[in-house]
Chain A
Amino acid sequence: MNLQGLVIQLLSGMSVGMVIFLIAVGLSLIFGTLQVLNLAHASIYMLGAYLCFWISSMLSQVSGSFWWSLLMAPLLVAMFGGFLEVLLLRRIYGREMLDQFLLTFALILIIGDLCKLAWGVEYHTVDTPWPLDKAIIFGGLVFPRYNVFLILSGPLIYVGLWSLIRYTRLGSVVRAVTYNREMANALGVNVPLVYTGVFMLGCWLAGLGGALVAPMSAVMPGMDMVVLIDCFIIVVIGGLGSISGAFLGSMIFGLVTAFGILVAPRLAIAFGFILMIVVLIIRPWGLMGKPER
């Protein structure tokens, strides 16, 4: 394969990685602060995709309908997330992992069926929005603008999140709660509010991922389960709870997919798990995570 082909493959890998990053980082963020492994995270992503489809079809007469739905769908998803946190998740924080596992599993079933009730079992999709519906042509390279937009939005969200946690007062409160919940509580931090906020932020990110995926794929039942396993793989590689880890993990995941299929196309289904097992055995806390205290 020539150089041009390699560059295109590299860009493809980055595009795959950045979409999945938006979803995985939310999962990691929620785990980091709430200590809950949210299995329903991918269902939240599916909800985002459906809402994006729904809003943009409602607004099909308005120009820039996609951009409106890109704005509104994640917000609605975040509100739904907040509702779930206050109503359900809050009851199981102190409990064992199994309870959390099952509660979030129940949410997968419920959200899946709610989407089916609302939008049926047909495939849906969203038109690629202007001005991203064309390709960039550079020499002999052809690459769609929408994928470039995805590649750029990944790092943007990453830097945004990282500075939010690192430099703002809000971020320091979140870090304090993550580090030591009791101490933060004693110091007057409203811990439940922080939990709700972080959960909503995580859901917002998943919803954003869903809305961004809608124009480039089918919005359909069952789209959540595949992504869920991929997200697990990424957060395990990067380190549960680490934002940078999720970024690195997504990048690795995307590139392994893009270049792996050149080398061994039949192994595409096993790459992720093998990577995950190796990381768990050698460095269970992930590439960027911290060992358990």
Chain B
Amino acid sequence: MKKIVLIGFIALILSFFSIAPTQAAEPIKFGFLHTLSGGVGQVYGVPDQAGVKIAVEEINKAGGVLGRPLEMISRDDKLKAEVGVREAKDLILNQKVHWIQGIVSSGIALAVSAYCKTQKVIFIDTVAQSAATTGEKGHRYVFRITTNTTNYARSIANAAAKFWGGKKVFIIGPDYEYGHRCKKDFMKTYTGLVPGAEVVGELWPKLGTKDFTPYITKIMSSNADFVYTSLWGGEVLSFTKTAWPFGYFDRVKMAGQDWGNMEGLSKMTRKAYPKGVLGGSHYPWWLLDNPINNVYYPKFKKVTGMDAGLAAASGYTTVYAMKKAIEKAGSLDTEKIIDALEGMVIDSPVGPLKIRACDHQAMWPFWVGPVAFTKEFSWPHITDAVAMDPPDKGYRTCSEIEAARKAQK
């Protein structure tokens, strides 16, 4: 037995050296770096990977980019910043990729972005939402093709002011920087719309909380006009399941940016759903009517068996954006590609998107509307959704970005 283990071991070590990178010049390589295992991040990473794969296959079938096929090199950051940077180094130094896209955690996105800056390689954030990535910490080599926290806060605050407009706001959010930043941004916008609005109570359950019972009873005993929540993902589902039997959604008004996304809602039934909550969605495909969405959505469902959520749509769009930019630049020169991307309008399942030149943020719209059941679908979804019009309104202006960057220094 021991001999077998020994031989196996040696074989494994030898195999490593045979995996040395092959320098085939033909395909255009890019890195897909995302959370594919361990913890909650994979709920976004795995579908994103599927979306990117679909885009790569479509493009390659249609003749590739500049006559060369795309090759996606997929890496797992394991939801750890050090692994993210390690894999980014591997992708850039060993695999010689032309750009990196992906990443769910804002912290990892900042770290990878900082590294890509030193290496002068393009990094495109497709899921992580921290406004700082393209704001205060933005630079020439980082892009984002998805929404950001500023847009969340502004869209939700606008909708809340429009639908309700109460002065007493209750806050509940996950206890980490995302939750606190959302609170700050939300209140800033909301007090601008409803002067005199104030926070009358706040709760910070730790990230990953399963049982929200005490939080729900506490909220229900407060006399707030409405609740703003930055809870996201599985916590949307957990919170809803626990809150429903209390009659929570009949008695409490609530608004939250992740409460209209498919990830949380697609598994809910009429027996428990966030009735009337003002939810937000990056990709409400049921409300959209454009040629890309009409093809992409059913295709994604057919290929993966999953409902297309926010991550996959961003990943898919990003590959096409790079295709367009490379073709416009006419070469794989990074600087030329960046010049091409700046101010470019790209096609996506949510319609045409402009990539702003000043901060490299795509003007991805964010839809907000009350969650309800309709006859059309067997799960709850946002209805009568409105997005900021034009979408630029959801983001800081270029001069605000410039000021924020200066303040950092």
Contact = CB atoms under 8 A, between A and B. Distances in A.
A88 B273 CA distance: 43
A117 to B, nearest CB: 11
B195 interface: no
Q: How large is the interface on A (under 10, 10 to 19, 20 to 34, 35 or more residues)?
A: 35 or more
B216 to A, nearest CB: 8
B43 A220 contact: yes
B234 interface: yes
A8 B221 contact: yes
Q: How large is the interface on B (under 10, 10 to 19, 20 to 34, 35 or more residues)?
A: 35 or more
Contact of B233 (A20, A123, A125): A123
Nearest to A270: B206
A226 B210 CA distance: 9
Given A121-B43, A123-B43, A221-B42, A269 B206 contact: yes
A135 B246 contact: yes
B238 A265 contact: no
A217 B211 contact: yes
A216 B221 contact: no
Contacts of A113: 37
Nearest to B233: A123
B271 A127 contact: yes
Interface in A123-143: 123-125, 127-128, 133-135, 142-143
A133 B221 contact: no
Interface in B258-296: 263-264, 266-269, 271-272
B221 A266 contact: no
Interface in A201-238: 213, 215-218, 220-223, 225-227
Given A12-B217, A122-B267, A216-B211, A225 B43 contact: no
Q: Which of A16, A143, A215, A216 has the most CB of B within 10 A?
A: A216
Contacts of A135: 245-247
B391 interface: no
Interface in B210-252: 210-211, 213-218, 220-221, 233-235, 237-238, 241-242, 244-247
A5 B271 CA distance: 26
A125 B214 contact: no
A72 interface: no
Contacts of A269: 175, 204, 206
A227 B37 CA distance: 19
Interface of A: 1-2, 4-5, 8-9, 11-13, 15-16, 19-20, 112-113, 116, 120-125, 127-128, 133-135, 142-147, 213, 215-218, 220-223, 225-227, 257-258, 261-262, 265-266, 268-269
Which 9 residue pairs of A and B lie closest in terms of their CB atoms, listed nearest first? Answer: A144-B245, A217-B238, A218-B234, A218-B237, A258-B214, A5-B221, A222-B39, A12-B214, A226-B208
